[in-house]
């Protein structure tokens, strides 16, 4: 039977990097709702045009929009690692229903805990290569040499908005999943390799 792992954590917690590493280790398909929305925006699709202003302002797009993107991924089958969904208790309930309808087991949820100061420092330094993804370099991609980009929603004021939305809307998810006995909290500070090992300890092979 297919399974679903959820990775939670504040913006800048290293979720994307850890998700890629865990997906490789555990043979899961990495589904990032942020990446899906950014590629809709980049392609100029109707959906992309509808959500662009919201995403760039660091606010949450409507639940139905992300639920539809995730449902389409569930319907393709295979074990999934969800990164960036659910972000609210309402979305967690939707995910529960989507999994129930497909007779998938309840998700295993891993939450990364990182201090706010570290999050702000990491986001200010975050750069992404359009082809190779996030990295620690300053200007050019260490793999392909392309110029690195910053995300519009990593601007300082927008980061503050995203952190306050995280505190108000996503933190309550921890209590929700803890009450269901599905939550493991992992220390997200320190070197990415150390964090990856801590995550692997709580995600069965």
List contacts with ligand AMP (CB under 6 A). Answer: 11, 33-34, 37, 54-55, 58-61, 66, 84-85, 87, 91, 153, 162
Residue 17, token pair as written in the block: 């990097």
Q: Which is nearer to ligand AMP, 39 or 189 (CB)?
A: 39
SS3 assignment, position 128: strand
The burial class, CB within 10 Å (0-12 / 13-18 / 19+), for 145 is exposed
Q: Which is nearer to ligand AMP, 5 or 145 (CB)?
A: 5
Least separation in angstroms between residue 91's CB and ligand AMP is 6
Candidate list 3, 38, 73, 162, residue with the active-site label: 162
Q: Which is nearer to ligand AMP, 57 or 197 (CB)?
A: 57
Candidate list 3, 38, 73, 87, residue with the active-site label: 87
Inter-residue contact 43 to 51 (CB < 8 Å)? no
Which among 3, 10, 6, 5 is positioned nearest to 119, based on CA atoms?
10
Q: Which residues have C-beta within 8 Å of that of residue 182, sequence separation ≥ 6?
A: 106, 107, 108, 109
Active site annotation includes 151: yes
* Residue, CB closest to ligand AMP: 34
Inter-residue contact 186 to 195 (CB < 8 Å)? yes
Least separation in angstroms between residue 84's CB and ligand AMP is 3
Least separation in angstroms between residue 142's CB and ligand AMP is 22
Active site annotation includes 162: yes
Active site annotation includes 198: no
Least separation in angstroms between residue 85's CB and ligand AMP is 4
Q: Which is nearer to ligand AMP, 25 or 54 (CB)?
A: 54
* Other beta carbons within 10 Å of 187: 11
The label of the residue with tokens 């190779």 reads: 132
Least separation in angstroms between residue 130's CB and ligand AMP is 15
SS3 assignment, position 155: coil
Candidate list 15, 73, 122, 127, residue with the active-site label: 15
Cis peptide before 141 (omega within 30 of 0): no
Candidate list 38, 73, 127, 151, residue with the active-site label: 151
Catalytic positions, written as ranges: 15, 87, 126, 151, 162
């Amino acid at each position: 039977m297919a399974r679903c792992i959820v990775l939670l954590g504040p913006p800048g917690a290293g979720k994307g990097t850890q998700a890629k590493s865990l997906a490789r280790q555990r043979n899961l398909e990495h589904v990032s709702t942020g990446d899906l929305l950014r590629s809709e925006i980049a392609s100029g699709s109707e959906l992309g045009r509808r959500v662009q202003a919201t995403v760039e302002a660091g606010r949450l797009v409507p639940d139905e929009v992300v639920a539809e993107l995730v449902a389409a991924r569930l319907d393709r089958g295979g074990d999934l690692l969800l990164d960036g969904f659910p972000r609210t208790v309402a979305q967690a309930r939707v995910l529960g229903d989507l999994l129930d309808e497909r007779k998938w087991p309840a998700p295993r949820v891993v939450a990364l805990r990182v201090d706010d100061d570290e999050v702000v420092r990491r986001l200010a330094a975050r750069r992404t290569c359009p082809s190779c993804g996030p990295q620690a370099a300053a200007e050019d991609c260490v793999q392909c040499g392309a110029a690195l980009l910053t995300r519009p929603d990593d601007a300082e004021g927008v980061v503050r908005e995203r952190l306050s939305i995280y505190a108000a809307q996503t933190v309550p998810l921890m209590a929700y999943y803890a009450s269901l006995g599905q939550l493991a909290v992992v220390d997200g500070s320190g070197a990415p390799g150390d964090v990856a090992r801590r995550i692997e300890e709580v995600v069965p092979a």
